[in-house]
Amino acid sequence: MSKKTLIAFLVEIALYIIAGLAFYQGFHYFMADVDGFKHILKVGPMFLSCFMLTYLLFAYYYLTHQPNEEKRAKTLRFNGFGFIVLGGLLLVLIIVNIILGNYEFGYNSLIFPVDLILIDVVMIALGVFITLKKAWVLEKIPVICREYSKPKWVVIVGRTLGFIYVWVAEYFLAALLMAPTYIDVTTSTFGHTIPLYILMVFMSLVLFWHEFYLAWTKEKEMRQDFALAIRIIGLCFATTIGLVVLIIDLAIGHTYYISHNLQCILPIDYMISKNIGPRLLALCPMIALWFNFIASKTCIAKANKQEVTEPLS
């Protein structure tokens, strides 16, 4: 792995962690108004400003995972425009809310709502910069993956699952980082939540490993046997832990999770008395990893078959 690729890889991980923390905070802003959305004009800009960092993460991902230079340029131009427009609109809405007295300074952080303003200003500045310096950005930010051809349905389903997976994974990684503020190991039901904390770590580790492996095998030296072994181990682990969580969920219900341990990080579960969070943690890794495993094996087998049956020149 080259130094340039390693830096791009580390930048992606840093963006993922920062975006996760912002998304975690923004989601709680959103949940504060979920009952009827009576204050959507106040809460909406707060949530969307936090979500802008997740948008930045996805934009960076596609820039560094698109080998076609023409498509990279189009992606950069589109996202640069998006950063300017969305960041500018949210900045205006936040300033209007400040003028109207809707935002109490220090409400949820020492610098609120200055933190939201900073996010939007940075996004606008970034959009202007990459629009004016598109060639420089394309030169400095490398492609860190080597994709193989996939059927259209695999791409569509894979991206849909990928969006959901990343949102769930980054939220729960942030929740794990915030654990010192809510975790209570003295409760009698703490042991029931241990599999959930394991999955919080595991979901993000899967993403980090995937990115590292793509960067590691950027050249055509595919370490397929090693990758297959890691993938099978991950599948078995995710399936086992996921089934444990689902069994605990069915056996003891939502009360033990919500009232004792995870109320502050699972606000939806608390409000509607459903175990959505634990079920997402259990099912997302299983579904995503099994889909990735089956789709990749199918695509590779198809590519090998086409290569074998292709007439010699």
* Same domain, yes or no: 100 and 136: yes
* Same domain, yes or no: 57 and 4: yes
Kindly write down the DSSP assignment for every residue of 12-68, as one continuous string: HHHHHHHHHHHHHHHHHHHHTTTTT-TTHHHHHHHHHHHHHHHHHHHHHHHHHT---
Per-residue pLDDT band for 121 (boundaries 50, 70, 90) equals very high
Residue 201 lies in a domain: yes
* Same domain, yes or no: 59 and 178: no
Helices marked H in the chain: 3-31, 40-64, 69-99, 114-132, 134-140, 152-177, 190-216, 224-252, 255-256, 267-272, 276-309
For residue 46, the model assigns a pLDDT of 92
pLDDT at residue 45 is higher than 90: yes
State which of 128, 144, 160 marks the end of a domain: 144
Burial class (CB in 10 A: 0-12, 13-18, 19+), 158: middle
Residue 254 lies in a domain: yes
Q: Residue 49 belongs to what domain range? A: 1-144
For residue 297, the model assigns a pLDDT of 67
* Same domain, yes or no: 13 and 119: yes
Q: Mean pLDDT lowest for which of 219-228, 255-264, 301-310?
A: 301-310
For residue 225, the model assigns a pLDDT of 64
Tokens describing residue 311: 């007439």
Give this prediction's pTM: 0.84
For helices 3-31 and 190-216, give the axis angle rounded to 10 degrees.
140
Q: What is the number of structural domains in the chain?
A: 2
Residue 126 lies in a domain: yes
* Same domain, yes or no: 36 and 124: yes
* Same domain, yes or no: 265 and 185: yes
Residue 243 lies in a domain: yes
Return d(Cα 167, Cα 163) in angstroms, integer. 6
Residue 308 lies in a domain: no
pLDDT at residue 82 is higher than 50: yes
Q: Name which of 213, 172, 196 is nearest 16 in CA terms.
A: 172
Residue 267 lies in a domain: yes
* Same domain, yes or no: 124 and 244: no
* Same domain, yes or no: 140 and 150: no
For residue 49, the model assigns a pLDDT of 95
* Same domain, yes or no: 39 and 109: yes
Residue 95 lies in a domain: yes
* Same domain, yes or no: 93 and 188: no
Q: What's the average model confidence in pLDDT over 30-45?
A: 80
State which of 102, 119, 144 marks the end of a domain: 144
For residue 220, the model assigns a pLDDT of 47
* Same domain, yes or no: 55 and 140: yes
For residue 299, the model assigns a pLDDT of 60
Return d(Cα 178, Cα 114) in angstroms, integer. 21
* Same domain, yes or no: 179 and 233: yes
State which of 144, 173, 205 marks the end of a domain: 144
State which amino acid sits at residue 157: V
Return d(Cα 49, Cα 230) in angstroms, integer. 37
